[in-house]
Structure 1
Amino acid sequence: MANTLYYRSTILMKAQRILIVVFCFLAQVSWGQRATRVGFIDTDYILSKVASYAEMRSELSSKIEAWNTEIERRRTELKAKQDELGAQRDFLPLSIIEQREIEISQLSKALLQYELDRFGPDGDLIATEVTIVRPIQDLIYAAVQEIAEARSFDMIFDKSTDLVMLYFDNQFDISDLVIRKLEADSKVRVIGMPEESQVEEMFSEIEEKRQTITEDLNKAQQSKEEEKKAALSRLEKEREERRKAYISKREAVLKARAERQKQIEEKRKDTIN
Structure 2
Amino acid sequence: MRIRTSLFILLFAVLGFTSTLGAQKIASVDMERILSSITEYQDAQEQLDQLAAKWQQEINQQYDAIKGMYNKYQAEQVLLSEDQRKQREDEIIAKEKSVRDMQRERFGPEGSLFARRQELVKPIQDAVYEAIESYATTRGYDFIFDRAGSAGIIFSSPTYDKTDDILRALKN
TM-score range, shorter chain: 0.7 to 0.9
Q: Look up the SS of the partner of 1:40 in the other structure.
A: strand
Aligned ranges for residues 215-234 of structure 1 at < 5 Å? none
Contact 1:40 1:158 in 2 (8 A): yes
Alignment of 1:97-136 (within 5 A): 97-136=85-124
Match of 2:165 among 177, 181, 190: 177
How has the CA–CA distance of structure 1 residues 165 and 86 changed in structure 2, closer, same or farther, with 3 Å as cutoff? same
Kindly provide the CA deviation profile for residues 146-179 of structure 1, in whole angstroms up to 9, marking residues without a partner as x.
Answer: 2112222221112333321121123321112112
**Counterpart of 2:121 in 1: which secondary structure?**
helix
Sort the Cα spacing of 1:139 and 1:67 in 2 relative to 1 into closer, same or farther, 3 A: same
Residue in structure 2 matched with residue 58 of structure 1 by the alignment: 46
Letter in structure 1 aligned against 2:26: V
- Asked if 2 retains the 8 angstrom alpha-carbon contact of 1:40 and 1:173, the reply is yes
Deviation at 1:74, TM superposition (A): 0.8
The answer to whether the 8 A contact 2:44-2:121 is kept is no
Q: Quick one: distance in 2 between partners of 1:74 and 1:29? A: 64
Q: 2: distance between equivalents of 1:29 and 1:67?
A: 56
Per-residue deviation, 1:103? 1.1
1:28 to 18, 27, 42: 18
What are the superposed Cα offsets for residues 178-226 of structure 1, whole Å, 9 maximum, x if unpaired?
Answer: 1210110xxxxxxxxxxxxxxxxxxxxxxxxxxxxxxxxxxxxxxxxxx
Count of residues paired in the alignment: 157
1:37 and 1:155 in contact (8 A); partners too: yes
Are 2:125 and 1:137 aligned? yes
Answer whether contact 2:131 2:170 (CA < 8 A) is retained: yes
* Alpha-carbon offset, residue 30 of structure 1: 2.6
Q: Which structure has the higher relative contact order (CA within 8 Å, separation 6+)?
A: 2
Which AA in structure 2 matches 1:44?
E
- Greater radius of gyration (CA): 1
> Partners in 2 of 1:90 and 1:28 — Cα distance?
81
Give the TM-score taking structure 2 as reference length.
0.82
Give the partner amino acid of 2:18.
Q
Distance (whole Å) between structure 2 residues aligned to residue 147 and residue 56 of structure 1: 25
Match of 1:83 among 51, 71, 81: 71
Identity rate of aligned residues, in percent? 27
Distance 2:159 2:99 in 1: 49
Partner of 1:153: 141
**Shift in alpha-carbon separation, 1:87–1:29, aligned structure 2, 3 A:** farther
SS in 2 for 1:160: coil
Which residue does the alignment assign to 1:12? none
The DSSP-based 3-state class of the residue aligned with 2:148 is coil
1:125 Cα offset (Å): 2.0
Q: Root-mean-square deviation (CA), in Å?
A: 1.9
Which SS does the other structure have where 1:121 is aligned? coil
Compared CA separation, residues 27 and 162, structure 1 to 2 (3 A):
farther
Q: In structure 1, what is the Cα distance between the partners aligned to 2:77 and 2:17? A: 73
What letter matches 1:132 in structure 2? L
Q: TM-score, normalised by structure 1?
A: 0.54
In structure 2, how many angstroms separate the alpha carbons of the residues matched to 1:162 and 1:134?
A: 20
1:26-82 per-residue CA deviation (whole Å, 9 max, x = no partner) reads: 973435xx4532111122221111111111111111101101111110111111111
List alignment gaps of at least 5 residues for structure 1.
Answer: 1-25, 185-273
> Residue 57 of structure 1 aligns to which amino acid in structure 2?
Q
Contact 2:62 2:99 (C-alpha < 8 Å) held by counterparts: yes
CA distance in 1, matches of 2:145, 2:58: 40
